[in-house]
Amino acid sequence: MASVVFLVAPGGSLKGEIRVPGDKSISHRSIMLGAIAEGVTKVRGFLEAEDALATLAAFRAMGVKIERSENGELTIYGVGKRGLVGAKESLYLGNSGTSMRLLSGLLAGQKFSSVLTGDDSLSKRPMTRVTDPLALMGAVIGTTENGTAPLYIEDMPSLKGISYEMPMASAQVKSCLLLAGLYAEGETCVTEPAPTRDHTERMLEGFGYSVKREGGQVCLTGGGELKGTEIDVPADISSAAFFMVGASIAKDSDVLLKHVGINPTRTGVIDILKLMGADITLSNEQVVGGEPVADIRIRSAELKGINIPEELVPLAIDEFPVLFVAAACAKGQTVLTGAEELRVKESDRIQAMADGLEQLGIDAKATVDGMIIQGAEEGLSAGKVDSHGDHRIAMAFSIAALRAKGNIEIDDCENVNTSFPEFIELAASLGLMVKVSTDG
């Protein structure tokens, strides 16, 4: 198959004002909860990218009418909690771990069976982290012998609530169990070892469903109903992160990112960059539909290496590829620990980033649960790197070119479309010198 290649010329600055596309996590959840609510849900700012569209297509296949206009506006005609119908074929969820893990919970208690499939990357990712606790609730879900997709979910009219302590900090596992809990008898409680994104909890409340939260525990009681609502999806902080790092490391840069979601379970990237010495200011802070948003201004700064506090890891979990680039351009050593989850993302992000950085002349050592990076203030060398089909790795290495001594060529970039199809256009509008070609 032809591969999309990004070729990025070295240097330059980032300047200007942009709004990056809608938050991926919130977009997925808006479809899922809108579909099973009573009445109509209107969504603004929906992320029109492959992952969120895979969730949309799955619900259409289960009989939900969803109207989509060109500018990210959706109207979802909710069918109520028991109104979904079994899809005629298996539900193909592409590259999207969030679609598969959250849907497995939502579909575990339906009166019809379902099969969930994904692309090569998704078919390698661990699914027993959701199927094991779902089995404790009474669900019957088959996986491959490696515990991976396809998932075969049997019809199961009665689940029962459980109290579950998650072995890892995962918002996907927590959300999966809460969605199954909507269909379960009695109370479902999930305890997390560290705070993770809480969009499911906030959105359930927005749909009028009561959620109890205390310390690290979230509980809900099955049997209630959701009422259609209006959702305003903020710009995705995980997409904004590329330009936060880009504007920090490139000389003479000044970027304003508009209306970015700053839910405190997502702002680890801001805290980590500030610890490294970044110049970041927030303005226009407001709460929109239960989610805090702000405009974020970033100007060039001299970054320094740090030991990344482990409690920030789950709060910045998707931003490490580009944070490693920040570390590569910082003065001194950066050490990340406690981030073994990075090994089971769309790619093994520890290995893929360490290999790519080494390729670009940086001393980056992968460890079991993180990385040790020696910053090179003089920048990175020219070179060719492989994104391993991982959207965030492709975008992170594009940003690295701002401090490179020659061109950086990145292979296998088509999956940037899973989360940020406008990346090239927006990055170029700010000043990144990037070209796209198709190889093969």
Piece of the chain touching ligand S3P by CB under 6 A; list 7-15, 77-85, 167-175, 366-374? 167-175
Q: Is 390 in the active site?
A: no
Can you point out the beta strands (E) in 300-439?
A: 333-336, 363-367, 370-374, 383-386, 408-411, 434-439
Piece of the chain touching ligand S3P by CB under 6 A; list 56-64, 140-148, 171-179, 405-413? 171-179
Question: Judged by CB under 6 A, does residue 317 bind ligand S3P?
Answer: yes
User: Which one is catalytic: 119, 236, 295, 318?
Assistant: 318
Closest CA to 339 of 362, 322, 355, 316: 316
Q: In what order do the strands lie in the sheet with 370-374?
A: 333-336, 370-374, 363-367
Question: Judged by CB under 6 A, does residue 341 bind ligand S3P?
Answer: yes
Q: Residue 318 Cβ, how far from ligand S3P at the closest point, in Å?
A: 5
| Residues in the chain, overall count | 440
- Record the tokens describing residue 189, joined without a space: 């409680």
- Pick from 55, 104, 131, 175: which binds ligand S3P (CB under 6 A)? 175
Size of the site for ligand S3P (CB under 6 A): 10
Q: Residue 420 Cβ, how far from ligand S3P at the closest point, in Å?
A: 12
Q: Residue 167 Cβ, how far from ligand S3P at the closest point, in Å?
A: 12
Q: In what order do the strands lie in the sheet with 291-299?
A: 15-18, 254-261, 291-299, 279-288
By beta-carbon proximity to ligand S3P, the closer residue of 28 and 259 is 28
CA dihedral 286, 292, 293, 296 (to 10 degrees): 100
Q: Residue 98 Cβ, how far from ligand S3P at the closest point, in Å?
A: 4
Closest CA to 127 of 344, 315, 283: 344
- Pick from 14, 25, 105, 379: which binds ligand S3P (CB under 6 A)? 25
| Rounded distance between C-alpha atoms, residue 315 and residue 195, angstroms | 8
By beta-carbon proximity to ligand S3P, the closer residue of 87 and 171 is 171
By beta-carbon proximity to ligand S3P, the closer residue of 98 and 359 is 98
Q: Residue 49 Cβ, how far from ligand S3P at the closest point, in Å?
A: 12
Beta carbons within 8 Å of 5's beta carbon, 6+ residues apart = 409, 410, 411, 413, 436, 437, 438, 439
Question: Judged by CB under 6 A, does residue 170 bind ligand S3P?
Answer: yes
By beta-carbon proximity to ligand S3P, the closer residue of 41 and 98 is 98
Contacts with ligand S3P, 94-113, as mask; x by CB under 6 A: ----x---------------
What are the CA-CA distances from residue 333 to residues 35, 178, 348, 350, 376 (Å)? 48, 40, 22, 16, 9
Beta carbons within 8 Å of 425's beta carbon, 6+ residues apart = none
Q: What amino acid positions are annotated as catalytic residues?
A: 318
* Residues lying near ligand S3P in the complex (CB under 6 A): 25, 98, 170-172, 175, 197, 317-318, 341
